[in-house]
Amino acid sequence: MQSGYGKTDKWILEFETKDPTKNPLMGWESSSDTFSELKLEFSSKELAINYAKKKKINYEIIEPKKRKIVIKSYSDNFLK
pLDDT band at 21 (very low <50, low <70, confident <90, very high): confident
Q: What is the pLDDT of residue 2?
A: 64
Q: What is the pLDDT of residue 71?
A: 84
**Is this prediction's pTM over 0.85?**
no
| CA pair distance 51, 11, nearest whole angstrom | 12
| CA pair distance 41, 48, nearest whole angstrom | 8
Per-residue pLDDT tens digits for 34-78: 777 788 999 999 999 999 999 999 999 998 888 888 888 888 888
Torsion sign (Cα): 42, 16, 65, 73: negative
Domain ranges of the chain: 11-78
State the number of CA atoms in the 13 A half-sphere of 67 facing the CB. Answer: 8
